[in-house]
Structure 1
Amino acid sequence: MSGTTDPARQVAERMAEAAGAWLDSLDAGQRPIGAWQAPGADETEHTRWFYTPTDHGGLTFHEQRPAQHRLVMRLVAAGLSEAGYTTVATVLGLENVLDRVEGFSVNWGRERTRDPGMYYLRVFGEPGGTRPWGWRFGGHHVSLNFLVVDGRVAATTPCFLGADPAASPLLGGATLRPLGTAEDLARELVRSLRPESAARAVLLARAPDDIVAGNSARAGDRVVLRRELWRPGGHTPDRAGNPATGLTGADRRAVALTPTPRGVPGAELDAAQRELLRALLGTYLGRVADEVSPLPRYDDPAALDAVHFAWAGSTTAGEPHYYRLQGPRLLVEWTNVHRGVNHAHAAWRDPETDFGGDVLAAHHAAHHAR
């Protein structure tokens, strides 16, 4: 460590040390897969992301030795809060639970379909160097994307977590719900709204099949099709040419992302509802290390005023539902629809700087202008 007091630099240094150790462990066959061009050199790959059990790009756990697995998780921990890391580790383990739920029978033409070894790491650029660099870790229901520019963490999104099953029994009558608070707080909030506010917040009586932005490189710029949630060449889902949300026509337009957010703004909520809204934000923005989380931004009442809350589907627990939070530099989406409403998707994005696009552009303008 350099001894810097800049929190964003401290996290960047931790990540650079961990990423460098992992890269140093790679052999000649692993390195061309795990180490990629610097961000900006290959934006097609850098801005490609998935949350399905498809090829995310990079080295899987299967392609690494156990000692390298530990280095992978050390890098993941360097970018996340303790709670964020624990949740990610739990989601990885849920692949074994899902396999049992499905009777160990799902076959997509590979050796194992529900596979905790099919999580991928790829490092872009040279960690700790003068040029921008970043890393991506992902697999089924996990996508972490970090960018470092000028020695500081510049982007932490897209950041996706999911859970299937969303709720699983534990011994003693307890229930494992890795993302449960993100569901419960939102339902409490929508059910607390006055009738006139609820009418504005609930965009559609039906919940979409998936998050509206899908895995688009730029949130909300187009309709994402189901086949785009999977890397070409592997398993392709049924109805591949249909919208990932399952909605068409007026229903799709009712929940579509718009430049002016839909729903009820924080400015119209009472004090208790605003506390719920900020706590809900914390279940997303608290995933990353505290030093780089934008959550303190919402200590400013004006920032919370600008966050809009919208819902689709039933407000009754156990029935299909969707919600989102949208405001300046913020898009949060949640859906729990499938497997008997026991399959959750929860995405956090910064539409202005996902993958650090604006920061990269400013860096290249400053350092590479002719």
Structure 2
Amino acid sequence: MTSQVKQDEQHSDFRKYLPDLNTPRFQAIAQNDAYGHAEELLEHHRPPWLYGLYVHWRKLFQEPFKGVTNDGTIRPNLFKLRDEGIPITTLVASANSIITQLSPAQSTRTLLHIDSPEWRSWSNPEFLVSDKGIRLDELTPSLRDTVLSLVENTLSPEGYAKARSAMRINHFLGELVNAAKVMNEYSYNFVLFGAPSEDTPWGYSFYGHHLCLSVFLYKTQIVVSPWFTGAEPNLIDEGPYKGTRILHEEERLGLELMQSLSDEQRIQATVYEKMKDEKMPKGRWNHDDQRHLCGAYRDNRVVPYEGIVVGSLSQLQQELVRAILSQYLLYLPARSRELKLQDCAEVFGETYFSWIGGSGDADPFYYRIQSPVVIIEFDHHSGVFLTNSKPAKFHIHTLLRTPNAGDYGVALKGLLGGSVVQDYVWGE
């Protein structure tokens, strides 16, 4: 049996874990739309663990933006203004086409200040905990298509295909658990920040269950960070989009890198041997993020370096790191991706690869690559809608952050203002 066939079997195992749709949880979600479902969380505090996390998120949201760091101190002079070949004229036209179709009420909700703190209020659960902008499944086909056209024109062709696949997999999950009014192909919110312009900064947020994109644009330069992409399951096995699958390359390459290490190197890279390890300090694992450290509302998290230094690895192993990073930079158009890969490679001497879990072909795992200019995370999750109590290879979460104030383009805006960003206060 080939490794690809084994991988396909692991990802199609999800049907063993389909939930009982007659339980109160699934009967309730079947009857609710997105707003009624959010009310369950925000007003009735169900489920309690997620409501507790939401309360914590809102406390974090009140903090001035600083940025993710490895030691609590922002490192200056890491980013620069440059030409990345972004088709800004096309993007401005696409964004303006959206604006012309908005009603006055939609405009008030959707057109926010470039420094609005609401840029930070994205999250990846299906609960609509930050209701702003326009929601695609409520729009006319014309307006919805215009929003998607902006996203398509912004991203690389392969990045846009990945985003659309995530949306279709979300629809597939909604069908599996009879929750199509909450989770469907268009259950995503869109918000514009700043006035679309060829000369001044602006951007947008596109967010919903398992797909959240923060896009900052300045002239021909782009930042897509932070972003979150997940899937449960990550393979559609029936219907019109049968065969659609995402996040398998990130999985394959990460495991290939780990398995390429010597025994001594694996020990150095492995932070915890178990996915939920008794050696983990309090807070290292939580119900929603599980092993992730840099998810929603974690804009200021201090994440110490751990694992093995990429610069100490062989050339072939470093090429695997490049291949992983290329997957995580897939949303970026080709020229921007090439430049950001160069940025990453220049600091391989202070880039760390760390691992949690086993490294056998069937083992679920977590890994992180972290440097002064990028943080990426990969995590196999336990079930949220499916019933697997342990992490499985068919439920995957991935994310990217740009540390040292790089998220949301803040560091670049600091350059426009002629100063290094420190404790950035939004809206001032």
Bin the TM-score by the shorter chain.
Answer: 0.7 to 0.9
**CA distance 1:205–1:217, change in 2 (3 Å):** closer
Tell which has more relative contact order, 1 or 2 (C-alpha 8 A, sep 6+).
2
| 1:20 correspondence with 2:96 | yes
Equivalent of residue 146 in structure 1, options 205, 215, 224: 215
Give the conservation status (yes or no) of the 8 Å contact 1:332–1:349: yes
Q: Distance in 2 between matches of 1:296 and 1:60?
A: 31
Change (3 A) 1:204 1:175: farther
Matching residue of 2:359: 315
Residue number among 225, 237, 240 corresponding to 1:169 in the alignment: 237
CA 1:300/1:112 → structure 2, altered by over 3 Å: closer, same or farther? closer
Q: Is 1:332 the equivalent of 2:376?
A: yes
Q: CA deviation at 1:29?
A: 2.5
Q: Which amino acid aligns with 1:147?
A: F
Contact 1:81 1:290 (C-alpha < 8 Å) held by counterparts? yes
> Match of 2:105, SS?
coil
In the alignment, the residues of structure 2 paired with residue 294 and residue 262 of structure 1 have an alpha-carbon distance, to the nearest angstrom, of 26
The question of whether the paired residues in 1 share the 8 Å contact of 2:325 and 2:341 is answered with no
Instruction: Give me the whole-angstrom Cα distance separating, in 2, the residues matched to 1:284 and 1:74.
Output: 22
- 1:51 paired with 2:103, answer no
Q: Which residue of 1 aligns with 2:87?
A: 11
Give deviations 1:73-125, integer Å, cap 9, x for gaps. Answer: 111112211111001001111122212433x1x5xxxx823233320110011
- Compute the displacement of 1:306 (Å): 3.2
Change (3 A) 1:317 1:98: farther
Matched position secondary structure for 2:158: helix
Go from structure 1 to structure 2 and tell me whether the alpha carbon gap of 1:301 and 1:9 turns closer, same or farther (over 3 Å shift). closer
**Which residue of structure 2 aligns with residue 182 of structure 1?**
250
CA contact (8 A) 2:309 2:350 kept: yes
- Give TM-score scaled by structure 2 length: 0.67
Deviation (angstroms), 1:198: 0.4
Question: Which residue of structure 1 lines up, in the alignment, with residue 171 of structure 2?
Answer: 96
1: CA distance between counterparts of 2:100 and 2:316? Answer: 51
Unaligned runs of 5+ in 1: 1-5, 222-256
Taking structure 1 as the reference length, the TM-score comes to: 0.77
Contact residue 144 and residue 158 of structure 1 kept, 8 A: yes
> What is the deviation of 1:296?
5.2
User: Deviation of residue 315 (structure 1)?
Assistant: 1.7
Aligned residues: 312
1:346 aligns to what? 398
SS in 2 for 1:155: strand
Q: Which of 39, 62, 66 matches 2:141?
A: 66
Which residue matches 1:228?
A: none
Alpha-carbon separation, structure 1, partners of 2:300 and 2:211: 18
Q: Report the Cα distance in structure 2 between the residues aligned to 1:199 and 1:82, rounded to whole angstroms.
A: 39
Structure 2: state its 5+ residue gaps.
1-81, 276-284, 420-428
